[in-house]
Amino acid sequence: MSEQITPEFIRRIPKTDLHVHLDGSLRIPTLIELAEQSRVELPAQDEAGLKAKVFKTHYESLPEYLQGFAYTCAVLQNAENLERIAYELGQDNIEEGVRYVEVRFAPQLHTHEGLPIAEVVRAVAAGMDRAKKEHNESDAVRNGDDIPYEYGIIICALRSFNEHMSDYYKRILNIMSYAKKKEVFAAASLEIARAAVAMAQKDGIPVVGFDLAGEEAGYPADDHKEAFAYAHKHFLRKTVHAGEAYGPESIFQAITDCHANRIGHGTFLFAEDMIKNPTIEDPGMYTRLLAEYIASQRIAIEVNLTSNLQTTPSITSVAVHPVRQMIEHNLSVSICTDNRLVSNTTVSKEFELLVESIPVTRAQFRNLVVSGFKGSFFPGSYNDKRRYVRKVINRYEALEKELLRD
């Protein structure tokens, strides 16, 4: 462990998860139960079987990694199930010391006739609210021995989709059957951006951000710039999956064309050999300037170590993961799970994996933890956020004195 940062300390400190997908974070027993109720056929009927066949410790490719979502999305087609898994996610967060989470999902994958987009999001908020209320009314929080649990919701648009993914997408593809595919994808993203803004500003739902997810190669972020311009003009914060399977140019696009406040993954930020644009004469300088810009503008990077190890063959261990370069460049980095079920992880596991694999000073570790709170799209006012972060720092410092050697 780096500088004697212990598992107990990691578990007890307040933490964040700014990049966690709702449909990738179910409990397996819940998935089995809901599948039976919803008449969804699973490849196995027990936890061991599902871990062997679907939710593995190692995947051969990103498509294999994503196979499990077909089963999780299939059981999340009514408000009751959505509320339940959101509540259980909140419970799991609280149990391991996560005190702020931004859960993200694409409500268009769960909507159908009788369940509009706003009701999908409202169901998730209801589940998170229930977990929040239980914790925040506890004696520990009331006595000041713990800090409150808070959350926000991030709405995802998808870079591409097909008619088999949901009724919503099937209808859009039918309506726009004579349009180019990228025009259909862009139109769908704009509509989701409008919905996200309306839910955040008119419906009283804690939607704090707008995201773009899906395969990068062949589906550039700038195809969706109109949707992000809409979110930007309406003061909704933006994050973009970028640099997960593509190079620095994808991250540059997310920042310049989509006004990204944060970057999801950013794994290939320093991979100058992946630059494809022939007009970039000096790839080394390009990546250095990009990293400097991200650092100076405090554009946070949501790092998902286990997920990257599972889906990126070139990253064979955390020791060679670019998170080390990110820390050395003083970038604003938050450690996240991506998918608690699909990657079989927690925030505590991610931090343990980090400090076991690369040298991290106590100061650097503290910065990683606090960066999650500072980089959050907190649903309250800026002053509320400052007060909340101060509570976090006070709690962190108290635990540091109690649990770590000088």
* Interior angle at CA 141, CA 140 and CA 142, nearest 5: 95
- C-beta of residue 74 within 8 angstroms of C-beta of residue 348: no
Task: Write a three-state SS string for 347-362.
Answer: HHHHHHHHHHHCCCCH
* 8 A C-beta contact, residue 56 and residue 376: no
Bridge pairing between strands 237-242 and 300-303: unpaired
Distance CA 18, CA 211 (A): 12
Q: How far is CA 403 from CA 4, 357, 364, 389, 395, in A?
A: 10, 21, 17, 21, 12
Active site residue: 102, 216, 244, 272, which one?
A: 244
Output helix, strand, coil percentages for the chain, rounded to the nearest 5.
55, 15, 35
| Sheet of strand 98-105, all strands in order from the earlier edge strand to the far edge | 15-21, 98-105, 150-158, 207-213, 237-242, 262-265, 300-303, 333-335
Question: Does residue 244 carry a catalytic annotation?
Answer: yes
In whole angstroms, give the CA distance from residue 197 to residue 338: 24
Query: Catalytic site residues?
Result: 244
